[in-house]
Amino acid sequence: MLQTMRLVSPMQRPSQSKKYEDDEEGHYIQYTVADLNPNLRPCGGTKPGKIHFTAEMESKAFIAWKTVVPDDIGNCTIKLSDGADDQDFEVLLPLDNSAYKKRQRGYFPCGRTKSDMEGKEIKFPRNVTCDACFIQLIWATKNTGHQFMCADIEILGGDIEDCSGQCMNGGMCVNGGCQCRKGYTGNFC
């Protein structure tokens, strides 16, 4: 399946495997093109990568995308995940009040015309900090169904977290403590 929209800012997870020289512990999993499908939850088959975007809690950010093949009834939803199992999402509503808010769905019109840059300004939630969060952009279309794109980000609070960089086995530092993946426990997983 061809990806017909691409997350531009923050930078979308790469759709090609890349080996990082400073990845001695193998944090960035390699994958093949067969793993990639923009219709796969939560991120179109892409794996976590380097963080290229840092923000403060309650700060504003412009989330931008490029539409290659438009869909005349396309809608987008922007979500934030701070969960280690990619299932804990919070909808981030655009600040221009263009989102459908009933039942916290948060979708809005997007990708309806071909464009090099389209986007919405959002505000990160209060009391959410993490060293390995991700933003998920979901594009719902008539022709291709739902396409999922993600960008790895870091959200800082007033102080750097005590556990930042110390969580092991894929755990994430969230609000000062390690949130472990299934099967791992302890202060640092």
Cα–Cα dist 189/186, whole Å = 5
Q: Quick: pLDDT tens for 14-49.
A: 765 555 565 555 555 566 666 777 888 888 878 777
- E strands, 32-176, where? 54-56, 60-67, 75-81, 89-91, 108-109, 115-123, 130-141, 145-156, 172-174
Cα–Cα dist 65/147, whole Å = 13
pLDDT mean over 70-89: 84
pLDDT mean over 1-7: 75
Q: Which residues of 15-37 are buried (b: 16+ CB within 10 A; e: fewer)?
A: bebeeeeeeeeeebeeeeeeebe
Global pTM value: 0.76
